[in-house]
Every structure is written in C-alpha cells, then in structure tokens.
Amino acid sequence: MKIVMLGAPGAGKGTQAKMIAAAYEIPHISTGDIFRANIKNGTELGKKAKTYMDQGLLVPDELTLALIMDRFTEPDCEKGYVLDGFPRTIAQAEALTEALRETGDSLDCAIDVEVPDEDIVSRMSGRRACLACGGTYHIVFNPTKKEGICDACGGALSIRPDDMPETVQKRLQVYHEQTQPLIDYYKREGILKSVDGTQEVGKVFASIQAILA
C-alpha cells in the first residue's frame, strides 16, 4: 500500500497520514524527517543536504528524490508507506513516478484531503501556542480554560507568525500555484481519491479507510 497525501497547508493531511501509518503498520514518511535522520546519521546524502540547509537554501529535487528512494529500501517499507510533503510540484511528481518505474514499482493511491480556503484560514488563524512549554490550542476547537493562558503551565499564549491570516493566505496562494496541479496529474494517472476534510478527524479517517478497503 503505497500512498501519497495531498492537500493544502492546514487541511489535516499530516494527521491523517499518521493515522493511516498506525492503522496499516506502514511508515509515515515526510521529507523533513528524512533530512534530519540522514544528517544525524552522517550519511553521504545527508551531508549533501546539510550544505544546502545550512545556507538556508532548498534541497534540490534530485537530492530530495534520492533520499526518498533510499528510504523506500528500508525494511519497514516492505508493506508500503505514506508519503507526506513530497511531491509538491509536477516536476517532482514526474520524477518520482519515473524513479519508481525504474525499480518496477508505482504508487497505489494519491489521497487529496479537500478543505475550502476560508475554512483553512479560520482553522489556522485560530491556533495558539504556549511559548513556555510548547502546548498548542485552538480558540474554537481546543480552547484553554482561561483565555490566553496555557492550561498546562500557565504561560502566555501567542499566535505563531505562520498562523497569521495574511501568512496563511500567502501559503495558500503558493499551494494553488505549485501544488494543486498535482491533483490533476494524479487524476490523469488514475490513482487520485478525494475526501471531505471539513469533517471531524475520525470521519475523515473513516472515509480514507473506505477508499483503502
């Protein structure tokens, strides 16, 4: 079961990816985790990635793909995997398809977690974080007992720069320009499945399970 997750930032695809991984006993693979693991272990690919990251540059597509394909060879990927955060562009998707084809492999399913932009802005701009202990809350879905104060440590809550409405709008604009075309790409490949991401988390997961059954 080889799955790639699609969806705008804040759509909840990361949460669903983790739930799929746990339920089907396959690894949840994100590019960030792969970069960190390779850098920590001092691999050749990790050293190359670090030279870009230390300069604040994006790791080139070819290197990212090489790291991902290397990750697929590990024993825990024998039954499949959930790929989260890659590909982000058509070029990356085509390169992944070709790299898998060369190993006699292919993706089984691309799952798009659909959430309207206005819902995402509402979700993300309502997030609050505790600077002291790192606790996270939401003014609607997971409010604190006392407004603006962390339940766990009593620290002050703040809105992260990434969650500011104007920042969210910019991130959504980038998503629509670069990443949304992937939906059409995987539709043409015949493996796209969509779920309504506005539902409660458990219901979204139930929809995904029905697709994977």
pLDDT bin (cut points 50, 70, 90) of residue 54 is confident
CATH of 2-27+74-114+175-212, one of 3.40.50.300, 1.10.15.40, 3.40.50.150, 1.10.472.10: 3.40.50.300
Model pLDDT, residue 32: 83
Of the candidates 13, 123, 170, 193, the residue annotated as catalytic is 13
Query: How distant is the alpha carbon of residue 191 from its chain centre?
Result: 18
Is 127 catalytic? The answer is yes
- Write down the mean pLDDT value for the chain: 93
pLDDT in tens, 132-180: 998 999 998 899 999 999 999 999 999 988 888 888 898 899 889 988 9
Of the candidates 50, 88, 187, 193, the residue annotated as catalytic is 88
Query: Residues 189-194: what's their mean pLDDT?
Result: 97
SS3 state of residue 3: strand
Query: Residues 21-38: what's their mean pLDDT?
Result: 92
Is 13 catalytic? The answer is yes
Model pLDDT, residue 119: 92
Whether pLDDT at 203 is above 90? yes
- Give the C-alpha separation, 34 to 191, whole Å: 25
Domain range summary for the chain, segments of one domain joined by +: 2-27+74-114+175-212
- Predicted structure pTM score: 0.83
Of the candidates 2, 71, 123, 127, the residue annotated as catalytic is 127
pLDDT in tens, 55-76: 888 889 999 999 999 999 999 9
The vertex-124 CA angle with 121 and 130, nearest 5°, equals: 155
Of the candidates 101, 160, 170, 203, the residue annotated as catalytic is 160
Sequence-distant (≥ 6) Cβ neighbours of residue 205 within 8 angstroms = 16, 19, 20, 23
Q: Which two tokens stand for residue 139?
A: 């003014």
The residue among 90, 86, 113 whose CA lies nearest residue 196 is 113
Query: Residues 26-38: what's their mean pLDDT?
Result: 91
Place of tokens 């590990």: 74
Model pLDDT, residue 165: 87
Model pLDDT, residue 201: 93
Model pLDDT, residue 212: 94
- Report H helices in 25-72: 31-41, 44-53, 61-72
Is 160 catalytic? The answer is yes
Whether pLDDT at 123 is above 90? no
Model pLDDT, residue 75: 96
